[in-house]
Structure 1
Amino acid sequence: MPGSQPARPANVCALDRGYGPEASSLLYHAYRDDPTFRYLFEADRPGYDHRLRATIRELMRKHVGEQRPALGLMLDDRLIGVALISPPQRRLEVTESWPWRLRMLLTAGFRSTRRYLDYHEAVMACVPSDAFHLLPLLGVQPSLQGQYYGEQMLAAVHDWCAQDAHSRGIVLSTGNNRNLEFFQRHGYQNIGEVAIGPIREQVFFHANPYALSSSQG
């Protein structure tokens, strides 16, 4: 069985707006074959790559514009992993952002925008309260997946979020069955399921260490 650490551990860093284009490109490649995103942005219809790129670019622009935190993995001088984090105190739903909606309509189109908004609202309905960090996008360069950089990225996210005493933990979702065992192995519990067309999006929760110890005390 291989070890639980990458052969060459990457460095964790906080990303600023200068990494926006590079991070958007990485997340596009990480999500291009994701079943949920393929359904949302109609992979069987011409223009899928354009719609997906536009959506990730707009999500990144909104995230950076609101000065929300983002973590990166750097291998030498190369960005190989990205995690966008929405803290509990800084959560503004994309469904409430009219400028974001307008840019989405102009770039991704009406149907993809509507599907994404419905998907986002359904996932948020599974979140029990505001006292959680959310991970709207999390990805590792596809060519380096399976080499434990995903584990390193997730560990960095856990360490970062655990410093916030206002947060009970982390919520994320996935419609990719290959990710289910990965998240469960790292302490995530299923708290809901959302039907996204033929896809079943699973919503997961990971407790912050202090929250877990408090509930057991």
Structure 2
Amino acid sequence: MTQTSNASSQIQMLDSGYSREARSLLYQAYRHEPTFRFLFNANRSGYEQRVRATVRELVKQHFLQDLPALGLLVNDRLLGVALIAPPQRRLGITESWAWQLRMLLSTGLSCTRRYLDYHQAVQACVPGDAVHMLPLLGIHPEFQGLHYGEQLLEAVHNWCAEDEHSEGVVLDTGNPHYLEFYKRQGYVEIGEVAVGPVVEHVFFHANPQVSRVDEA
């Protein structure tokens, strides 16, 4: 799918050829996030390497399992990425023993356990099985505040709405600066998860056709 957002930006499906660019972008987007700082122990040396390794393994496993990813490109440069987990395959990555082993070797036992516990707690907030989830979503920090996030999310919502088995999209954040942004995009908070000192907020956005039915 290709969708022109304005004169210089476009949304397109990504394949594994974008893996390196996606990893670099998502590392920059997540390295300062409160949730990741707790999960991967920012106060201990090697934090950035652990975040980089986690993003690498998540992106690698995502493309290895042929899961969908949308990218926002401006003049052929990747500025935004949304990894999407469809309803039927939401748990595939973290249930992979190969992924867990690579995480243990690259981030250590305690960080891997923290990440898995966090993932399971977020899953417990999800309203049933018929939703897409966004395990990683980011706009490059240098280009935030330019409405690329809105463009990427709109494309995600429209893409997920094409799945007749999906009722909407779920994402989560522990960054208080993003709460009002997601609410403005039509997200409704459906749960909170304590991730150490961080409060992780879980949001749901109904698919466009579901919203239209509710309004009819």
2:118 is paired with a residue whose SS is helix
**Which stretch shows the higher mean deviation, 87-96 or 50-59?**
87-96
1:177 and 2:173 are equivalent in the alignment: no
Structure 2 CA distance for aligned equivalents of residues 125 and 209 of structure 1:
24
Structure 2 CA distance for aligned equivalents of residues 14 and 111 of structure 1:
34
Match of 2:42 in 1: 43
Match of 2:10 in 1: 11
Shift of residue 89 of structure 1? Answer: 2.0
Match of 1:154 in 2: 153
Q: Deviations over 1:19-72 (max 9, x none)?
A: 001100100000111000111011111000100000000000111011010000
Match of 1:124 in 2: 123
Stretches of structure 1 lacking an aligned partner (at least 5 in a row):
1-5
1:204 and 2:203 are equivalent in the alignment: yes
2:125 is paired with a residue whose SS is coil
Shift of residue 92 of structure 1? Answer: 2.9
1:159 is paired with a residue whose SS is helix
Match of 2:193 in 1: 194
What does 1:22-33 align with in structure 2 at a 5 Å threshold?
22-33=21-32
Structure 2 CA distance for aligned equivalents of residues 39 and 122 of structure 1:
15
2:38 is paired with a residue whose SS is helix
Structure 2 CA distance for aligned equivalents of residues 164 and 99 of structure 1:
29
Structure 2 CA distance for aligned equivalents of residues 194 and 9 of structure 1:
38
Match of 1:115 in 2: 114
Shift of residue 214 of structure 1? Answer: 3.2
Structure 2 CA distance for aligned equivalents of residues 132 and 25 of structure 1:
27
Task: Tell me the percent identity.
Answer: 60
Shift of residue 7 of structure 1? Answer: 8.1
Judged with a 3 Å threshold, the aligned counterparts in structure 2 of structure 1 residues 8 and 36 are, in CA distance, closer, same or farther, namely: farther
Match of 1:3 in 2: none
Shift of residue 216 of structure 1? Answer: 4.6
Paired AA for residue 150 in structure 1: G
2:79 is paired with a residue whose SS is strand
TM-score by length of 2: 0.94
Judged with a 3 Å threshold, the aligned counterparts in structure 2 of structure 1 residues 216 and 9 are, in CA distance, closer, same or farther, namely: same
Structure 1 CA distance for aligned equivalents of residues 8 and 129 of structure 2:
34
Judged with a 3 Å threshold, the aligned counterparts in structure 2 of structure 1 residues 15 and 215 are, in CA distance, closer, same or farther, namely: same
Q: Deviations over 1:168-214 (max 9, x none)?
A: 00000000000000000010000000000000000000001222233
Q: Deviations over 1:132-152 (max 9, x none)?
A: 000001000100000111111
RMSD: 1.4
Match of 1:105 in 2: 104
Structure 1 CA distance for aligned equivalents of residues 92 and 57 of structure 2:
14
Judged with a 3 Å threshold, the aligned counterparts in structure 2 of structure 1 residues 177 and 9 are, in CA distance, closer, same or farther, namely: farther
Shift of residue 108 of structure 1? Answer: 1.0
Structure 2 CA distance for aligned equivalents of residues 32 and 208 of structure 1:
30
1:125 is paired with a residue whose SS is helix
Structure 1 CA distance for aligned equivalents of residues 94 and 152 of structure 2:
28
